[in-house]
Structure 1
Amino acid sequence: MSLNMIMNTATSGMMTAQGQLRVISDNVANVNTPGYVRKIGEQQAMTTQGVGAGVELTRVRLATDRFLQAASFNAGAEAARQGVRYELYDRIQSLFGNPSGGTDFFSQVETMFSAFAVAAEDPVSSPRRQEALFRAQTLFDEAARIQTQIQAVREDADGRLKSAVDGANMLLEQIEALNIEISRATVTGSDASGAESAQARLIGELSQIMDVRVSARTQGGVTVRTNAGVMLAGDGHATLEYQRAGTVNSESAFSDVWVTEPRGTKRALAESITSGEIKGLLELRNVEAPAAAERLAELVTRVADELNRAHNANSAVPASSTLTGRNVGQSFENAIAGFTGTTNIAVVNPQGVVQAQVEIVFSGGAMTVNGTAATPATFLAVLNAELGGQATATFANGVLSLSTGGANGVVIADDPDDPTSKTGRGFSHFFGLNDLVSTDRMALYETGLTGLSAHGFTPGETIKFRFTGDTGARLRDIEVTIPPGGAVDDLLATMNDPSTGLGYYGTFALDGSGALTFTPSRMPAPQLSVLEDRTTQVPSGVSLTELFGIGGGVRSSRADGFSIRADIDANPSRLALAQLDLNAAPGTQALSSGDGRGALLLADAGQRAAAFQAAGGAQGGAISISRYASEMAGDIGARASIAKDRRDAATTLHQEARSRQMSEEGVNMDEELVLLTTYQQAFNASARMIQAASDMYDTLIGMLR
């Protein structure tokens, strides 16, 4: 071996050792840098014509363990998903208050019914009446506040979703830029470890936003996909698009999050991700928060309905001169049909003395007023004739009214042995003639309509539905046109026609109370919502969505619409706590101001089995308001607890995955110090070899002189 080869070999050893020392110093300097991946210098022997010619540092790579990295990314995505779900759902739970304090929303339900029980003990006490009304109004105000705040949580989730999309776009752009830099360094043999380390940190941030799968490219850099296979980066980068909804309410329709792959394919992102912050935000905004809002609305609706049931069985003293009902969302002919039982309409003077009384009997589809036969079309005319001018009944825009036009009052009372009933409500209750609680929208969807009833909508009007999958991605938007046939069966046939698209996803049907239900035909069940409703029913003026409560949005919106009837709120003496004595003959007293039996009905309304409808994942059925409130409180608490447990478990798993990844990829000072000593010695050995070669060279030169 020549001296030059010895010199070259030793020099290569020094250069390689020096390069390794640089790698080690970089590792040591970043020992506390979060996310830093340890560098490894790879070296190999050089040969010339089969003869050893020293050593070279071929490349500097990261100590990346792809399996541990993937486990960490997946665990991080799930931790982010569960973290944001718990954070936002915990806010929803806090809106209802702490049950242990006795001042939470659900405790207010019992407090209100207790206040009516106290009023029953002294029905002429104005302060007790005022207290009962105050408790009722407070409950409805609190429900409206909670409903508004739930929508605020959804709006917050929607805003954070937009921020997450913008953040993902920025990260994808940077990841792809580093791909180009890494590929260029790989081709030229330069050190790409710095760019690779930066890229790994960016991918880690991206994995918090959505689940990702990473694979190495042969030319350097990585390919990034979602776990479902959607290309995010590697040959160009994907672009995410999302348009915020603005102000969010119960009926807001949200846009899809779209992802356009590098080669131009556009698809809904929700179908392609299973975890990450975006997934958690979509689940909370689209499923969990609306479910809480729907259950709240259903509870408050039944509270109002049961109070109205009791109040319609009572009368104020003196009786009101005018009873104005609520909009029943249908024609009078439809509304009056289908009753059974007997009710009475009495006209009394301010002292409660009966001036006139008519008996209305519904039996087997027939109806009589004081024995005079009537039909749905002639009922009002016959009733007004039998009232003999003492009072007048009118029906306009879906609302039935009774008025004396003077100082006398109107009282409606069912026969205790044969009370009237339609959809589980008596005559006065069905029309809302003496409601205690009013609302500015349709709240009860048990219409009493049958398949043969005229629906009242104009042919050619349209309603647009949206179906979304269990991931929150839009499946299809479908527009339905009101058909020429005027019966409800004609409307249902069009809505259920598979050719329109609705029949592919499920079927609509009327139940025995005239409520419209949708039964999905696919599993998992698609979610139905209404995008646009251009229908208007004659004569009520309500839309198809409002009449039947189609979709969770319109049902949720009921929660902020209830209040104590304005005239009763202004004058507590108008609170109906007395009951009409049906045995009182004309000219005798039938109402007494000291009668508190009606207050007992109001107090007991919370224990009566109410017909709850399915809402927010909870099954409906006959259950008392008190029990429903208790179960709802437990369910919300349990969901928050489960969300917390899932977050804690996902966070622990992520920490364990990160710990294992860092133990493999992170900097170990002991190992680095051993390597530092090794390469220092290697450097010194190469230097000594150069010195020895130099001495040999000097000796040879000296021999030649």
Structure 2
Amino acid sequence: MNTASSGLAAAQTQLKVVSDNVSNVNTPGYVRKIAEQRTLTSLGMGAGVEVARIRLATDRFLQAASLNAGAESARMGARHELYDRIQSQFGDPGGDAGFFSQIDKVFAAFAANAEDPTSSPRRQDALFRTQAAFDESGRIAQQIQAVREDADSRIQSAVERANGLLGQIEGLNLEIARATAVDGDASGAETAQSALIGQLATLMDIRVSVRPVGGVSIRTGTGTLLAGQGAATLEYNRAGTVTGETAFNEIWVTEPGGQKRSLLDSITSGEIKGLVELRDVEAPAAAERLAELVAHMADELNRAHNANSAVPAPTSLTGRNVGQSIESAVAGFSGQTTVAVTNASGVIQARADIVFFGASMTINGAAAVPATFLSVLNTQLGGAATASFVDGRLTLAATGANGVAVADDAAAPSDKAGRGFSHYFGLNDLISTDRPAFYDNGLSPASPHGFTPGETLTLRFTGQSGSRLRDLQVAVPAGGTVGDLVTALNDTATGVGRFGTFALAANGSLSFTGYGNPEPTLSVLEDRTTQVPSGVSVTELFGIGDGVRASRADGFSLRVDIRQSPSKLALARLNLSAAAGTPALSVGDGRGALALADAGERATNFQPAGGSSGGSTSVSRYAAELSGEIGGKAAAAKTRMATAGALYTEAAARQTAHEGVNLDEELVLMTTYQQAFNASARLIQAAKDMYDTLMGMI
């Protein structure tokens, strides 16, 4: 009787499990239940059967494979989605409306001006296309920053979701442990927990292990405890508006035991990882490459325009802020240049021929040094024009109705860090900017840096995972030279010497090389330095940090007076060999327009940016390479997303095939347990009949 009644109870439990499985056949995430039976014994004799426990049909290997594949799929999906937005901003590389096509049209428009330099419509068309190209670069730069802001916002949302999931998973751990302690059915709580674990795995890579007391322990891929002994807590605060060198905050995880550490050191995949990689690596790289392209496009147009002159020559030329004193800026030149004063007809009225010898110079044969450059120049101009230097800007102004023009000697042009005199000071720039646009400024270790001792800048170093390594505050030293500043930056105790080294190149550019493989990433948290007299900071002067360099892309625009009056566009060349009394400037001269048209093909030195090693190439070639790189990265991101998605689909399908409900199998089991139930019932009936017969006999 006892054996039969135990079989009856076991069959009833099995039928209940089967019916539960069948009813949930279409429930997403449902894991099939299995009731495990075992034999009962008493004094070595069989005493029936019992259901030891009801468990889920979970395969830990398949579950781990599915969770890992899901995390990688979410990571690649986030990267592709946001990078595709970046790529779309540049437009179709082969279309007429794309950004890179606009660059080609700028140079083509200047070539048209060479055919007819006096055509006002052609001048306006060239200026319109030039302004449109730089406006578009600014728009793209802002959109890239908007993508970074979006990624940052999604990181915060993902952190909040992860906290909610960990809290629910830990709550279910308690329910499962209580049910396990009394041999109860915890399968419902385990099914709900399994679904939550799947959601958590899309946010970060995790490892799941079963606890002896019931429930699960969850750790990150590198072992940080998230749940199992309490729920871990993730912390993140958005950085706010992402402009320039704004540094993002750290994502912290506090383990149940109280240990606080960087989450990025603990995860290798998942949506959070993908968002961080896009925000901190891929988007900045695109912005840096764009800024480097646009900066050199502006620089090459300015190179050509500084060699040109409008007809008649403008009454004054005001340069850009070079971020130095006049003594530092004028030192280090070689070659020859001429400052000429012309009348309305283009006839030279006065001129100052400057011959540079590095630390000294002559002006019309009169000796000068950097400290006396302005006074000697003004003396040699004889009142026909005056030179002044205010707030880092050099100005040449003619007196009366005359104009002023600058031209280099054809055989021995002036040169400092690859730029002529007018170009270096930006006296006749076509494209203006509100910040330093290039960092090969010609400074040497002996050059005065102009910063006040004690002023500070704060640098941050991050590792390959994106986690913060160290924040360092460096003070401007008492020594006043650029060499002293570089030495202070490289100090192992108060500078960055433990993470890498700064090096000043011969052209004045400052570069940072980190120690280790991979190298740490350098960014600027805060810069409180101000140079006298220019007002620029150390970061702006030398381009320290990728954020400062990337921010250049939205700072370029056509010079205001030229935009308002196209006749001021410089398309002619000053003829220094013109005979006395004959015009040195001609209205129909289109040589300057040809130089502007060829600016895109002139080889120039691009600095490393966004993973590119830089090197000598033309603006047009660099633009073509960038176009291919942006498109190639977008295509690669799409391929990686598709591949990761396919692996996840396959892993999930295999897991579902093992853990999901198969109606045919369940119906077979139902028939089997119905027959077992009937057999146990018949055995009970037989025992009852036997007892009745025995009782009747007595």
| TM beyond 0.5 | yes
Answering whether residue 600 of structure 2 is matched by residue 572 of structure 1, we say no
For the 8 Å contact 2:474–2:495, the answer to whether it is kept is no
Q: Displacement, 1:289? A: 0.1
- Which residues in structure 2 correspond to 1:418-497 (within 5 Å)? 418-497=412-491
Contiguous gaps of at least 5 residues in structure 1: 1-5
For the 8 Å contact 2:502–2:510, the answer to whether it is kept is yes
Report the equivalent of 1:686.
Answer: 680
Among the aligned pairs, what percent are the same residue?
A: 66
Q: State the AA in 2 paired with 1:266.
A: K
CA distance in 2, matches of 1:149, 1:565: 24
Answering whether residue 44 of structure 2 is matched by residue 50 of structure 1, we say yes
CA distance in 2, matches of 1:440, 1:482: 24
Q: Displacement, 1:363? A: 2.6
The equivalent position to 1:516 in structure 2, one of 510, 520, 529, is 510
The equivalent position to 1:603 in structure 2, one of 587, 597, 609, is 597
Report the equivalent of 2:607.
Answer: 613
The equivalent position to 1:215 in structure 2, one of 200, 209, 212, is 209
Give the TM-score normalised by the residue count of structure 2.
0.99
Report the equivalent of 1:3.
Answer: none
The equivalent position to 2:410 in structure 1, one of 411, 416, 433, is 416
Report the equivalent of 2:666.
Answer: 672
CA distance in 2, matches of 1:52, 1:353: 123
Answering whether residue 108 of structure 2 is matched by residue 114 of structure 1, we say yes
Report the equivalent of 2:226.
Answer: 232
Report the equivalent of 2:374.
Answer: 380
The one-character-per-residue Cα deviations of 1:91-150 (angstroms, maximum 9, x if unpaired) are 100000011323211111111100000111110000000000000000000000000000
CA distance in 1, matches of 2:134, 2:241: 23
Q: State the AA in 1 paired with 2:653.
A: S
Q: State the AA in 1 paired with 2:476.
A: I
Answering whether residue 555 of structure 2 is matched by residue 537 of structure 1, we say no
For the 8 Å contact 2:360–2:370, the answer to whether it is kept is no
Answering whether residue 233 of structure 2 is matched by residue 255 of structure 1, we say no
Q: Displacement, 1:697? A: 2.6
For the 8 Å contact 1:81–1:276, the answer to whether it is kept is yes
Report the equivalent of 2:691.
Answer: 697
Secondary structure, counterpart of 1:528 in structure 2:
strand
For the 8 Å contact 1:356–1:586, the answer to whether it is kept is no
Report the equivalent of 2:363.
Answer: 369
Q: State the AA in 2 paired with 1:379.
A: F
Answering whether residue 95 of structure 2 is matched by residue 94 of structure 1, we say no
The one-character-per-residue Cα deviations of 1:240-294 (angstroms, maximum 9, x if unpaired) are 0000112222322100000000000000100110000000000000000000000
Report the equivalent of 2:68.
Answer: 74
For the 8 Å contact 1:465–1:528, the answer to whether it is kept is yes
CA distance in 1, matches of 2:376, 2:360: 14
For the 8 Å contact 1:332–1:395, the answer to whether it is kept is yes
The one-character-per-residue Cα deviations of 1:625-666 (angstroms, maximum 9, x if unpaired) are 010000000011111111111111111111111111111111
Secondary structure, counterpart of 1:80 in structure 2:
helix
Q: Displacement, 1:50? A: 2.5
Secondary structure, counterpart of 2:461 in structure 1:
strand
Aligned length: 698
The equivalent position to 1:554 in structure 2, one of 548, 553, 560, is 548
The equivalent position to 1:30 in structure 2, one of 18, 24, 29, is 24
CA distance in 1, matches of 2:377, 2:13: 105
Answering whether residue 641 of structure 2 is matched by residue 629 of structure 1, we say no
CA distance in 1, matches of 2:626, 2:250: 31
Secondary structure, counterpart of 1:442 in structure 2:
coil
For the 8 Å contact 1:250–1:290, the answer to whether it is kept is no
CA distance in 2, matches of 1:477, 1:355: 59
For the 8 Å contact 1:244–1:255, the answer to whether it is kept is yes
Report the equivalent of 1:308.
Answer: 302
Q: Displacement, 1:498? A: 1.0
CA distance in 1, matches of 2:527, 2:392: 19
For the 8 Å contact 1:147–1:559, the answer to whether it is kept is yes
Secondary structure, counterpart of 1:531 in structure 2:
strand
Answering whether residue 338 of structure 2 is matched by residue 335 of structure 1, we say no
Q: State the AA in 1 paired with 2:615.
A: G
Q: Which has the larger displacement, 135-144 or 690-699?
A: 690-699
CA distance in 2, matches of 1:167, 1:180: 20
CA distance in 2, matches of 1:73, 1:106: 42
Report the equivalent of 1:641.
Answer: 635
Q: Displacement, 1:219? A: 0.5
The equivalent position to 2:196 in structure 1, one of 189, 195, 202, is 202
Secondary structure, counterpart of 1:605 in structure 2:
helix
Give the TM-score normalised by the residue count of structure 1.
0.98
CA distance in 2, matches of 1:254, 1:406: 55
Report the equivalent of 2:394.
Answer: 400
CA distance in 2, matches of 1:106, 1:376: 42
Q: Which has the larger displacement, 342-351 or 695-704?
A: 695-704
Cα distance change, pair 322–623 in 1 and its aligned pair in 2 (3 A): same
Q: Displacement, 1:364? A: 5.1
Q: Displacement, 1:501? A: 4.7
Report the equivalent of 1:83.
Answer: 77
The one-character-per-residue Cα deviations of 1:277-332 (angstroms, maximum 9, x if unpaired) are 00000000000000000000000000000000000000001110010000000110
Secondary structure, counterpart of 1:378 in structure 2:
helix
For the 8 Å contact 2:204–2:271, the answer to whether it is kept is yes
Q: State the AA in 2 paired with 1:320.
A: P
Q: Displacement, 1:154? A: 0.4
For the 8 Å contact 1:151–1:250, the answer to whether it is kept is no
Q: State the AA in 1 paired with 2:194.
A: A
The one-character-per-residue Cα deviations of 1:368-394 (angstroms, maximum 9, x if unpaired) are 000000000011100000100000000
Report the equivalent of 2:34.
Answer: 40
Contiguous gaps of at least 5 residues in structure 2: none
Answering whether residue 119 of structure 2 is matched by residue 130 of structure 1, we say no
CA distance in 1, matches of 2:401, 2:5: 117
Q: Displacement, 1:696? A: 2.0
Secondary structure, counterpart of 1:499 in structure 2:
coil
Q: State the AA in 2 paired with 1:662.
A: T
Answering whether residue 6 of structure 2 is matched by residue 12 of structure 1, we say yes
Secondary structure, counterpart of 2:314 in structure 1:
coil
For the 8 Å contact 2:397–2:404, the answer to whether it is kept is yes
Q: Displacement, 1:701? A: 3.1
For the 8 Å contact 1:355–1:586, the answer to whether it is kept is no
Answering whether residue 652 of structure 2 is matched by residue 650 of structure 1, we say no
Q: State the AA in 2 paired with 1:484.
A: A
CA distance in 2, matches of 1:362, 1:554: 33
For the 8 Å contact 1:83–1:647, the answer to whether it is kept is yes
Q: Displacement, 1:587? A: 2.8
CA distance in 2, matches of 1:448, 1:158: 38
The equivalent position to 2:292 in structure 1, one of 292, 298, 301, is 298
The equivalent position to 2:236 in structure 1, one of 239, 242, 245, is 242
Q: Displacement, 1:52? A: 2.2
For the 8 Å contact 1:455–1:487, the answer to whether it is kept is yes
